[in-house]
Amino acid sequence: MASLNVGNLGEYLREQRRQAQLSLRQLADAAGVSNPYLSQIERGLRKPSADILQQLAKALRISAETLYVQAGILDERDRDEVETRAVILADPSINERQKQVLLQIYESFRKENALDAEADAEADAEAGPGAGSDDAMPHAN
């Protein structure tokens, strides 16, 4: 697991709290954590669990994934996937069967693209350094 960058997380949380116009006590109450504990998180003295981050995100009405990225728990690329899935699942205009089909299609595209990228990387590695450079450079006449 990645180490938590709690200094930046604390600063980010404080800024989000201020933008939401909440006092430290109001956010602590809304998230179900103690006032001193939240203060320690904001000052970078505590490393909150993913569950606590989720409670804070809900109270701040922001994405939990955003806090996970700030805390170093989630990679930025992973966040994009999680958020895409969340948007699909939250869409009230499509039914559950349609949501599942969309998620299956999305996952199949991701797997296909990952396999393509892997094949490209292997081909580049087999070709060796400088291979294919003639294709990229125009020839002078």
What's the pLDDT tens digit per position in 37-57? 999 999 999 999 999 999 999
What's the pLDDT tens digit per position in 56-88? 999 998 888 888 888 888 877 776 787 788 788
* Spatial separation of the C-alpha atoms in residues 71 and 25, rounded to whole Å: 22
- What was the pLDDT predicted at 2? 39
Per-residue pLDDT band at 3 (split at 50, 70, 90): very low
Residue 101, token pair as written in the block? 């089909």
Half-sphere exposure of residue 96, counting CA atoms within 13 Å on the CB side? 0
When comparing pLDDT for 3 and 6, which is higher?
Answer: 6
If one counts every other C-beta atom within 10 angstroms of the C-beta of residue 118, the result is 10
* Spatial separation of the C-alpha atoms in residues 59 and 61, rounded to whole Å: 5
CB-CB contact of 66 with 52 (8 Å): no
Contacts of 40 (CB under 8 A, 6+ apart): 46
- What is the pTM assigned to this prediction? 0.55
Per-residue pLDDT band at 4 (split at 50, 70, 90): very low
